[in-house]
Structure formats: structure tokens, C-alpha cells
Structure 1
Amino acid sequence: MAKNRRTQEERTAQTRLALIDATIAAISDLGYTGASTTLIAEKAGVSRGAMMHHFPTRAALMADVVRHVFDHEMAEYEETRVRTGFGDRLYDWPRLLWAVLSRPSGMAVLEILQATRSDRDLAALVVPMQEAVEQSALGAVRGAFGGDEKLALSVMRLMVWSVRGLSIAERYLPHRAETEDAVELLSRLLRQAAPDGQMAPLKTLMEP
């Protein structure tokens, strides 16, 4: 019995992952509006009924994409930091974020977040989740680099949303070398302001 339950759990996880991957691919190809549930089911190789069993609404699927991508990104950041040491200093993070957030998965999340403006059902699921995601990331940032909550939140938003904005710019101004120069500049500015790679030296910049 235990083996059968594990097999069913594995199948469920595989189907959900296939749907999440298909959603990211569909958004990457056609944008949020073009990523219909029918197309997503086709890309995932499942029936629309099977998809609805796992995700009763399109909004529920999109919300799970946001959560999945965040969890995957956080695991990748930590694996990179442990393996290479890159990420041990605050000024490493613009480049680390760029390497991850500029991918199709990061762009898909950004499109989902933008879509919450006109989709109430999506907003009801995604906005609280995004707030929880940010708080989780904030805890990790403060644990690694110190700083009070206000300072850490400001620095984290500066890095994350600067990189996300640059990823949008690259879509319309596809000159990757110039965009990467801007990411590098942000990294160097943080290094100049906080050469020890910690949050504390930035505190004076927040004072009146």
C-alpha cells in the first residue's frame, strides 16, 4: 500500500510540474494572455480535465507557478553560494539575480504579477503569495547580510526590481551586453557603498 501511495504522489508531482513548465513555456512564447489553459494542457501532454483536477482555475495554476519559481530560485541561489561562494557578499547579488530572473521562468512570473492589475481572481491568490515570498526572501537577506528590516527591504527591492526592470528592457531593447553592463554597474555601486559586502554601511545612505 505504501508503495502505491508513493507512486501516486510521484505521478501527481510529475503532472503538476509538467503543467508548471508548460505554463512558463506558453507565457514565454505567447505572453500571459496567449497562454490559454487549452494550450498549456497540450504542451504538458495532459487532458484539460486532468489539468482542472490539479488546478481548478487558471488563476490557481498561475499562483502555483509563482510559488514554484520562487522556491526553485531560492534553492538555486543557495546551491550556487555554497558551491562557489558567489553570493556571500551583498554586491554579488545583482549579477546573481540577473542570471536567474532574466530566464523565461523569471519573465513568466513578472507577466503574472503584471496581470494581477486586471484580474481580480488572480490578484486574490498571487498578491498575498508575492507578499509572503518577499517576507521569506527578506528574512534570508537579513540573516545573511544584517541590517534592520527597513534597510534590508529597501536594498532587496532595489536589487530585485532593478534587475526585473532590466529584463523587461532587454525584451524591447535586445542588446544583452549593454544590459549586463547596467547590472555590473549596480553591483559596483553596491560594492563601493558597502565594500565589506554587508548591509550596515548602507545605513547612512538612508538617513535624512
Structure 2
Amino acid sequence: MAVTPKQRRTQEERTAQTRLALIEAAISAIHEMGYTGTNTATIAERAGVSRGAMLHHFGTRAALMAEVVRHVFEGEMAEYEETRLATGLGDRLDDWPKLLWSVLGRPSGLAVLEILQATRSDAELAASVVPMQEAVERSALQVMQGAFGGNEVLARSVMRLMVWSVRGLSIAERYLPHREENEAAIALLSQLLKLAAPDGTMVPLAALGKEKP
């Protein structure tokens, strides 16, 4: 019997739902138990599918982790844009430490951080995740340059300063939970960026990058 377009769409929807369930299950498991404490059986059980079904959709755990990185990034970028449109937060460069802080410390952001850290001792994981992370950074870099100018080297430096400062503070928030101090550090980073780039773009930072130490 021929498969109708409607049936094909239904199968595609089921596939997408299963993949999303596995990604979300991986995020929750890694956040609760850490990357090393999370295995494929646990992820499959949380997603409500068999381990074989999980491997059918992603092939390997490393491939699933790469998709977690991509999925989280796309969700974060969509949320940043929604916040910017709704509140205006994000129109200036010095808005971004606060904006990043509101998102990167969530379970999804912390799960990605654990995955990235695990690539150091897992060659298979690194082979799947590192190229995905590099692609994510390139996409973010294009957005950053489009919004605030700067050449690629400068934009990448500023982006990494902000993102990894916030990621580091998100680790501190988890293991040294002094919320007021961590939020004060975020506010300080924003103020430093505002002083260095008072017009809210990267243009003034280009001159700083040319100064000799």
C-alpha cells in the first residue's frame, strides 16, 4: 500500500519527537548525575524508548551528545532573540553578560559544559562534539559581528570573554552557591564592558586591542 504524504509527515513527527525526548533525557540525566554517571540505558529509559531505538536514531552516545550541543545552542539563540525583542536587553554589548547569565546556568547549559569537559579524555566524544561546538561558535560569531561590528579576531575574543566568564561563574554557582557574589561579578563584567565600549558596540574595543602591554 502506498504511503500518503500525511502518513509520511506523521512518521517524521514521531521521529522528531523521539529524538527530542532522547536529547531532553540526556540533558536531565547529565545535569543530575554528571556525564560519567550517565549511560545510554539511563537516557533511553528516561526517554521511554529502548536502547536499541536510541542507537537507531543517533548511532552512538557521542553522536547524541553532539546533537545535545546543537539543540541547546539553537534554543539559547532563540531565547536571546525573543528576550531582545520583548525587552531590548541585548541591544548593547554590555547587556550580554546578564543575558548569558540568565540562560547558561540552566540544566541545559551545565549539561553542555559537562559534555565539553568530557571531550578531554574521550576521543570518540571529541570527534563528534568538538566540530559541533566549533560550528556553534561560528554561528554565534556571525550574530555577534552583525550586531556589534568588529573584525573576526576581536569579535571572537569578546564573545569568548563573555561566554566563558559566565560559564565559569555558573560552575561557581553550582559548587560555591553564593548568589549575590556571583551576580555582582556579572554586573561588574557588564560595567567594565560599558566603560570600555560606551557606545555599546565593539568599535571602541578595536583601539584597545592595538595597545601594547
Question: Is 1:78 the equivalent of 2:63?
Answer: no
Question: Is 1:30 the equivalent of 2:33?
Answer: yes
Task: Quote the residue 1:20 is aligned against.
Answer: 23
In structure 2, list runs of 5 or more residues that go unmatched. Answer: none
Aligned counterpart for 1:163 among listed residues 156, 163, 166: 166
* CA distance in structure 2 between the partners assigned to 1:101 and 1:95 by the alignment: 10
Q: Normalised by the size of structure 1, how large is the TM-score?
A: 0.98
Letter in 2 for 1:175: H
Letter in 2 for 1:3: K
Aligned counterpart for 1:150 among listed residues 133, 140, 153: 153
Aligned counterpart for 2:197 among listed residues 177, 180, 194: 194
1:28-52 CA-partner distances (Å, limit 9, x unpaired): 1100011111111111111111111
In structure 1, list runs of 5 or more residues that go unmatched. Answer: none
Q: Normalised by the size of structure 2, how large is the TM-score?
A: 0.96
1:53-84 CA-partner distances (Å, limit 9, x unpaired): 10111101111100100111111111111121
Letter in 2 for 1:198: T
Let me know the Cα RMSD of the aligned residues: 0.8
Aligned counterpart for 2:59 among listed residues 53, 56, 61: 56
Aligned counterpart for 1:129 among listed residues 129, 132, 135: 132
Question: Aligned pairs, how many?
Answer: 208
* CA distance in structure 2 between the partners assigned to 1:34 and 1:3 by the alignment: 41
Task: Quote the residue 2:116 is aligned against.
Answer: 113
1:90-121 CA-partner distances (Å, limit 9, x unpaired): 00000000111000100000000001011111
